[in-house]
Structure 1
Amino acid sequence: MRLHRLTLTDYRGVDHRDIEFADRGVTVVTGANEVGKSSLIEALDLLLEYKDRSASKDVKAVKPTHADVGAQVEAEISTGPYRFVYRKRFHKKPETVLTVLEPAREQLTGDEAHERVQTMLAQTMDTGLWRAQRVLQATSTTPVDLSDCDALSRALDLAAGRGDDGQSSTVNPALIEQIDAEYRRYFTGTGRPTGEWAAAISALADAEQQEARCRAAVDEVEQRLDTHTERSAQLAELEAARPAAERRAAAAQAAAEQVAEIVDGLDTAEREAKDARLTAATAAAAAAERAALRDELTRREAAVAAAEAAVAEAAALTAPARAAAEAALADLESAEQSRIAATAAAESARAVTEALRRRDEHRRLTERLRRIDAAEADLAAVTAELSAITLTDSDVRRIRDADAEVRIARAAADLAATVVQVSAEADIELLIAGQPARLTAGETREFAVADAADLRAPGVLTARIIPGGSAADSHAELLAAQARLAELLSTAGVADLAAATELDARRRECRARADALRATLDGLRSGDHVDELRRRRAELDAECAASHDDLSLAAARAAETAAADALAAANRAVDTARRAADQAVAGRAACEQRSATTQERRTAARDERDAAAARLAAARSTTADEQLAAAAAAAASESQRAAARVTALQQQLAEAGPARVAEELRTARDAVDGLDRRIAELRQALRDITVELAVFGGEGRTSRLDEAATAAAHARSAHARTRDRALAVQTLRSVMGRHRDNTRARYVEPFRAEVQRLGRGVFGESFEVEVDSDLRIRSRTLDGRTVGYESLSGGAKEQLGIIARLAVAALVAADDTVPVLIDDALGFSDPGRLARMAEVFDLVGADGQVIVLTCSPERFAGIAAAHRIDLTPERHPDAEDADYLRKPILV
């Protein structure tokens, strides 16, 4: 296959592009990034693979966004005996046009044209080789896969020659295809049954399943017959057992009725016994109540006697307690008088001490206010001096900067100034720039002139000295710097930098002095307001007018402490006397309270005794004590007899076993009910089975089983025949596959030799590669060191990939060759490798067609015989941010 020309119109961002490729050799197409180089390969694939009406996302992706038009791709291609021009328009108004130029001219359109191109390519081009001979940006370092390239296999078969037996080592591809076709009748590509073999397996499975279903249907009829016989026998047994169950239920019913009679008698006896117990309890309670009344009267008489004794004892203790309380109260009154005197003495001493403390406070306040007034006066003087100084920190910095600029400018002016050297041969008076200068004979002096100046010897000569431009500029800069300095000095009110520095130092000194005075004032004030301090001193002036000048504060405080100690002792004496008085008064009150309480208890005891005697007399007037005792004894005897009758009936009921009788009755009745229910179920089941057997009799299940068994036998026979054929072709394919693999192992060597021949021009004479049976490069050896392909650098992988594809182009027959497409490769290669790769392109490219797309033409500058095409972008007038390309320029 050869690609002669490719034309793109309205393709993505391409307005129109028409490229003609060299039929042989290397064509290098260069252009900037995103100019659309990779679109050439994409457009060619869309043209050859997709119909013009395809809705594939790949086709939709190339539609131009700047105009409502369809993308067009046209190519002129040669393949085998055919040469044709093929054009398609996608998206809008889709169209396909084919013009066959050779061997016979013909023209087709639409799907017919698409199918014709597919047929020509299938007949003449190895599609596996067409895909393999590409080096794309995304896969430039991926090993090339050549396992499905039939054209390369044929070329390697020829290169490998005959086998050891003298026969051709070539495996006939047609035979392999026939074997594969026959294999695909029975197996899929992964070895699973398909086609006839899968149909035979499925037919056998279906026949066996049908036979199993029919056999299950016949077995179901036999199962129903067995079930009918079994259920009939069960029904007869249950009907025979029913009379015995009924007799058992009748006996259980009679026993239950006897138990019911005993239960009724027991209920009556228990009610009578309960009434007798109540009567006996009432009589016993009346007798007990009469005895309680007698006992209560006895207790009340004893309580009256005890109360009389307590009243006498309390009266004997009350008189001494009253005398002790009166004595303690007198002692307390005396202690209170002593404390009053001590309190007055302590208050007098405290007043003297407070007066002396205020006198000392008045002295301290006076001194503190004096120091505050002095500090405030000093601060006012310093603040006034500081306010008169207008110079600031920034003024000083600017003056210093300006002075430095003046010094720098003066130094520059001195360096640039013109130096005039004057030597006097006799005494002479000179005027230099208007300034007099006297020179004696033989004296030599130098003058630096920064600006134009006159040199005069009055009455003799006048010379004009004009310095160079740089000197004038330096002098002008000096004057400007001096003017700026003078302006700053004038504004600050100082004569020069020294004065400014001195004034700044004085300003800083005044500021520090003011800060120190403020700190002193803050310390003297200590947070107090001065006016408040003066007001407090005025108050103390009045209070201290008549102070105790003859007494010291320490002596006053000692007297105050002694008075306070005396007062404390008086307070303690009062507390002691008060506690003694409180105890004596409390004792007296307790004795008086005890006397009153005992008298009240005595009165209450007498009242309770009289009430108990009255209650006993009233009870005896109604019933005598002996009558109550006799009635209680009779009631107790009757209660015992009733309890004996209840016990006898309970024993009789226990012997009858009511729970056992009830359980037997329930069991007997459940047995009868269960027999009736089971008999009804069996009768219904027999009726259902009879109906099913009647239905089964008309279905012909036995005949269907015979038919299914016959069909299953036929399916087994067909399955065995198909299995034999499938296994045979599987064995044949395996044998031929091993033979083809052995053949491949022999023709790997020609491919490896060609790769090594080309690679040695790049890597050196020690270059070797290992190639597997699928023609993939597995490792590279240089200078005896072997490195696996995956461990190689990106540059080495790219170079080996291109060399492998060029080796394929050199090996395949001229009729089988396809273009080698390289898209922006060799980006990982150094300049030396690039130069040697160019030699390989020159060596191999002459016999085939190689198309290189790159944005870095310098990588392929070493290819001497290359045809070069430059793609230049242009801006379309109707599109925004879309690059369009002019027609390529052949270089």
Structure 2
Amino acid sequence: MILHKIGVSHWRSLLDEVTLGPFSEQLNVIHAPNGTGKSSLFEAMRRALFDAHNVSGTDIAAVRPWGRDLSPSVFVEFSENGATYRVEKTFLSGASAKLLQLENGKFQPLADSRNADSRIREILSADAPGRGLSKQEHWGLAQILWAPQGDLQLQSISGSAAERLRSALGVQISGDSGGRLEDLIKERFQTYFTPSGTGYRKGKNAAPIISLQERRDAAQSALATLREKQEAFEEASHRVEDARHRRSQAKNEAEALRDTVKRSRAEAERFEKLQSEKKLKREAEALAKQRYETISETIEQIAKAREEIASLTQAIEKASQRQNELEEEVANAKKKLETCRSSRETARGKRSRSAELQKKIEAARDYLSCRSNSDDLAKRLDKLGELQKNLAALKKQRSEIVAPDAETISDLRKWLGKRDAAKAALAASQIHLTLTPEQPIEVRNLTDDSKARADSVKPLTLSGDELVEIEVTGFGRIRASGPEGGAEEHRQAIAKAEASIDKLSQPFGQSDPDALQLLREKAEQSNRDIKNLNTQIFDILGADTADQLAQKQNELSARLSGFETTYPDWKNQSPVVSELQTRFETLNDEITSEIQKAEDAFDTQQTALATAEKQLGELSAQLKADQRSHQSAEERLQALSKDKLTDPEREKAKSDALMEWQAAKQKADEAETELASIPGDPSKDLEKLEKQRTALEESEEKARDEEKTAEGQLQVLAAEGTYSKLTQCEEELADLEERILRENVRTEAVRLLHDTLAACKSAVIASIAAPVERAASRMLSRVVGPRLGNLRLTQDFVPEAVAPERSESPVAITNLSGGEQEQLFLAARLALATVLAKDQRQLVVLDDVLNATDSGRHARILNLLEESSDHLQIIILTCHPERYRALDTAEYFELR
């Protein structure tokens, strides 16, 4: 397919109709900034060629311009298989479709509505998308040749497109006999297996082995059931015997346990009585001990309180004396600190001198910067005025040039060729009579009653449509005739061509296409010169306008004037910042040194004051704490002495309490010794024995019930005759296993034959992809070097890996960098396109690709594109046209 022209209107951001073309059959670059409709143009072309005009849904509704009730429309002119077509489609409201074919220089209707949709897909060998919009797998060869924005990766190729590739490579998978054999094997294979080969065929026409397996499964299930019943019979027999043994044993153990329980009950009653006596005696011991400890603790605390009061009294006296000394020391430190503070403030006051000098330095820097900016701005304004003057002259010159576009020149050449061809045909269809007299004669043309004079030895030719008859003075008449018809048709063709030539050339005053081409090139050169000047003006202005630059110049002048008013000597002599800075640094060092000395003295005295105040504060806090502790000790001593006893009386009470405690302790120890003579806890032993006896009685009852139940189950199972049925089922299962084994050998033989044929066929298909792999690998090596090795394609020509020389196994494409991946997929698409262009030139569309490719590799890719354009029509959509300016043979179309 070759694209000639495309027009789009009311499509996303494209409101007004935009028409591009005619396109070159080699390289074309469509460029525009982001968001101006490049990808929309490509999208509209795809929808026109592959989608039904009456498709509905949110996806097609999204192409309607935002907030507008407009019907998106598109037309595409293209050639395929030697014929030229025009597709016109409107979507959504008023949906319509029309297909036209170029006949005798004019597009004539070929199909409309649904017939047009189907006919277009038939021409392009595309697949119908079903419901909704088409996807890449429906585009036929375009899924290989066209790369939408952000989708350069080639993930899959539909079966029809892959078949076209194989056909282009001229490879035939099998002959007639091979095809018949393949059909027979496939038919037999499908008798046993599903079409995918993943399992046996099921359902109404299931494989024979399925029926055998189902019968085997049923037999296995029945055998398992019978075995379970046989096992249940044997288990029932064992349960009867076990239940009888457990019942007998539980009865004997329960009878033996009754006497032991009686003896344990009497021992438990005696144990409980001794425990009660022990508890009462231990409580009496605890009370006596508590009384003794209370008296001892009181005597001890009274002694400690007296010692603490004496110690605190001595500490309070020393702290009061030290407090007076520190108060005098703090007063002296405050006087010295005030003297240092005064000296420091005097030194800091000298900072104003250095601040004034610092302000002058900053003003000098601003003054010099303003002057530099003012000079640069004056140069920019002078250059801007010169460029604007030249631009006005160029625009005036361009307005005086009336030049045709490329389509007009092409049409003019076409009509000139038709006129010359018609003249040649007219001359060929006429009768021509040539006279060469020996002396001058007068000839009368009787055909149109005109006269002519023939000079001596000079030929005179007279022409006519069907008859030429002349009369020569002194000689007579001469008549020549020929076949009738044909001349008038050629005259009409000449008249039509001349009328078209006059119409096309009338605005330009001449019909020479070469001269008009020179005029067009002159106009384009003027346009380029104007664009260049506009670019230079834009570079000078930047983000400003000329008025804004002038305003900035005025502002700078006003600031300079203000500086010179403040510092009048700068008018004649510009300030030297370095000299001012040296003066500032010298003065600043002197002032800083003086301030630092005063600061150090102030800090030293302030530290001394803080230290004295801290010591005074800590001492005062400690004194207050000692006074509070002294008062607390006296209060505690009074509380301990509230019993009004003397120290000897307290010592006697302590001795009496000790004797009482020892007597109570002796009685409690005697009771505990008697209790310890009884081993363990008889009450706990009795409780366990009671539970054990109850459990034995319950076990005996339960064993009796289980024995009866097991006897009933054993009788039921014995009546079913399970053993004979089990033997019969095992024989039937063995027979089915043997039949399944034979059938499995037969089906696996068919599978092996089928898989062998498929493997051979896959090997042939793999050999088809080899030429494409080599071509793509050569292209990729030219771009990235030999590092990646050879490209590997699947049987359906989809890139899947590379084979570097240093790697023992292929490397997946996902392990490559983003730039290398897009370079690899571009090389693969160009290689496949070269194969498809074997019979006729094909269209390759690249929408904003190579975004991750560096400039060095991009230049090498441009060489590949130029070479590929010898047999491919390539259209590149980009927002960076400067990256493709090196394509000398490319046609550039700016989309605005």
**Same-fold call, TM cutoff 0.5:** no
Q: TM-score, normalised by structure 1?
A: 0.44
Q: TM-score, normalised by structure 2?
A: 0.44
